[in-house]
């Protein structure tokens, strides 16, 4: 089943919806009708387009595996725990990590729970009472940077470049991409924002509230939070706004790609946001250049920020608010023990 074939996993525009009266007069709802409507309502429940896209992709993957044709949504009522367990095992055999498998199973469990409440199916075959999701360590696998390596990362982008003169000498000119990257890395390191949140930032997201410079970050589910900025991050954003001449474009993206691939921003920046993949590639490039652990990713900045703040004594509830988590238990999974061996009970034993 191709990704777009499962048309019962789509969101119908409001103007295209039939009225309740029209639907009732046309024919009583069948099982297929209920499942189709339930799937659409389940996807529409989330205000996050990223969440909708991810959930849709995961569920469609399962439906393909289970052989549910796009024109027979009623077949979902016959799905049993053995189908879900077989899918889980196939994902494991394909080499997916436990965390990825668990995330996919969570999406499937959420859908069937919704359909059950909706009255479209009688059971939730993905419920934890029927099928176990693979265990995931509470201490996540994302690598945290040490404070020293984070500092190296923040200082790595060069802000000047030597431009040759006709007389054989050279002059230093500003390298706009370096100014941008220094601001971008500072936002990641000092706010702990997600890469999707970073790419959604607009110029107007950077503002002053009283004595605080803050970023208005739009997180998962459309939730907004104000994150105070460290002085270094604010200074770098100011420098970036000036070099890119963005102050008058309040509704435009804060971080943007260059107009030309080799122009280094000297010829300006495109009027669109950097993509998540572009930010990831930037981080990968500096990881290689600095000879850091290849496992370091853009998400490592988020883990590093929360771990460093916790080590400095920040309260877990404050960290939860800072990270935009709905549950403090989620926040705890981001805290790394960077020197666990040195803190081992073995060193305090005395006989």
Do 274 and 168 fall within a single domain?
Answer: yes
Q: Give, as one character, the DSSP assignment of residue 202.
A: B
Share of the chain above pLDDT 70, in %: 88
- Please give the structure tokens belonging to residue 170: 């050279």
Reported as a pLDDT band with limits 50, 70 and 90, residue 3 is: very low
3-state secondary structure of 217: strand
Over residues 211-226, the pLDDT tens digits come to 899 999 998 777 889 9
Lowest mean pLDDT among 22-36, 78-92, 269-283: 22-36
Which of 8 and 34 is assigned the larger pLDDT? 34
Give the max Cα distance, the chain: 86
Same domain, 171 and 297: yes
> Looking at the domain assignment, is residue 161 inside a domain?
yes
Do 152 and 289 share a structural domain? yes
212 and 312 housed in the same domain: yes
- Does any domain span residue 22? yes
Alpha helices in the chain (DSSP H): 20-26, 31-45, 49-66, 81-93, 98-118, 147-155, 176-191, 195-200, 231-243, 276-289, 299-311, 316-323, 328-332
Residue 348 falls inside a structural domain: no
Which is more confident, 170 or 348?
A: 170
What's 305's domain CATH number? 1.10.443.10
pLDDT digits (tens, 9 = 90+) for 159-215: 988 888 887 787 888 899 999 999 999 999 999 999 999 999 999 999 998 889 999
Residue carrying the six token digits 């436990």: 98
Q: What pLDDT does 9 receive?
A: 77
Count up the domains in the chain and report the number. Answer: 2
- Distances in Å between the Cα of 106 and the Cα atoms of 45, 101, 113 are 15, 9, 10
**Inside any domain, residue 227:** yes
223 assigned to some structural domain: yes
Residue 44 sits at the vertex; the CA angle it makes with 12 and 52, to the nearest 5 degrees, is 105
Q: Which domain holds residue 257?
A: 147-337
Q: Which of 270, 266, 289 is nearest to 278 (CA)?
A: 270
Q: How many helical (H) and strand (E) elements, i.e. helices and strands, does the chain have?
A: 13, 5
Give the single-character DSSP code of 4: T
Domain co-membership, 83 together with 170: no
What is the arithmetic mean of pLDDT over 269-292? 95
131 in a domain, yes or no? Answer: no
Mean pLDDT of the chain: 87
d(CA 293, CA 231): 28
In this structure, the answer to whether residues 34 and 83 fall within a common structural domain is yes
**pLDDT attached to residue 1:** 43
Cβ–Cβ < 8 Å for 96, 69: no
Is 219 inside a domain boundary?
yes
Residue pair 317/323 in contact by the 8 Å Cβ criterion = no
Distance set, CA 84 to CA 64, 90, 168 (Å): 12, 10, 70
Residues 59 and 171 in one domain: no
If pLDDT is split at 50, 70 and 90, which confidence band does 2 have? very low
In a domain, 249, yes or no: yes
Q: What is the pLDDT of residue 344?
A: 63
Residues 113 and 160 in one domain: no
Identify whether residues 323 and 176 lie together within a single domain.
yes
Is the pLDDT at 275 greater than 50, yes or no?
yes
Separation of alpha carbons 241 and 206, rounded Å: 10
Distance of alpha carbon 51 from the chain centroid: 9
191 and 332 both lie in a single domain: yes
């Amino acid at each position: 089943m191709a990704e777009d074939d499962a048309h019962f996993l789509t969101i119908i525009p409001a103007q295209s919806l039939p009225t309740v009266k029209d639907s009732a007069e046309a024919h009583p709802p069948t099982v297929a009708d209920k499942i189709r409507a339930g799937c659409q309502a389940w996807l529409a429940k989330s205000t996050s387009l990223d969440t909708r896209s991810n959930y849709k992709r995961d569920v469609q993957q399962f439906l393909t595996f289970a052989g549910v044709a796009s024109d027979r949504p009623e077949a979902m009522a016959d799905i049993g725990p053995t189908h879900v367990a077989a899918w889980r095992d196939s994902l494991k055999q394909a080499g997916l990590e436990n965390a990825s498998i668990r995330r996919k199973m969570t999406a499937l469990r959420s859908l069937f729970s919704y359909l059950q409440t909706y009255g479209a199916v009688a059971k939730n075959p993905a419920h934890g009472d029927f099928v176990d999701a693979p265990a995931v360590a509470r201490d996540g696998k994302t690598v945290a940077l040490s404070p020293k390596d984070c500092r190296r990362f923040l200082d790595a982008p060069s802000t000047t470049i030597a431009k040759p003169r006709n007389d054989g000498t050279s002059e230093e000119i500003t390298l706009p991409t370096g100014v941008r990257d220094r601001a971008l890395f500072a936002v990641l390191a000092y706010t702990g924002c997600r890469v999707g949140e970073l790419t959604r930032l607009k110029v107007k997201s950077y503002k002053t509230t009283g004595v605080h410079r803050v970023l208005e970050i739009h997180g998962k589910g459309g939730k907004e939070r104000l994150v105070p900025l460290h002085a270094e991050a604010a200074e770098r954003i100011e420098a970036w706004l000036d070099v890119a001449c963005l102050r008058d474009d309040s509704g435009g993206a804060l971080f943007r790609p260059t107009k030309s691939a080799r122009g280094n921003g000297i010829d300006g920046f495109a009027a669109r946001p950097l993509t998540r993949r572009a930010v990831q590639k930037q981080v990968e490039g500096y990881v290689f250049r600095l000879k850091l652990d290849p496992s370091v990713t853009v998400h490592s900045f988020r883990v590093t920020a929360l771990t460093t703040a916790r080590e400095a004594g920040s309260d877990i509830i404050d960290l939860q608010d800072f990270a935009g988590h709905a549950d403090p238990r989620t926040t705890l999974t981001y805290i790394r023990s960077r020197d666990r061996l040195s803190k081992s009970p073995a060193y305090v034993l005395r006989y």
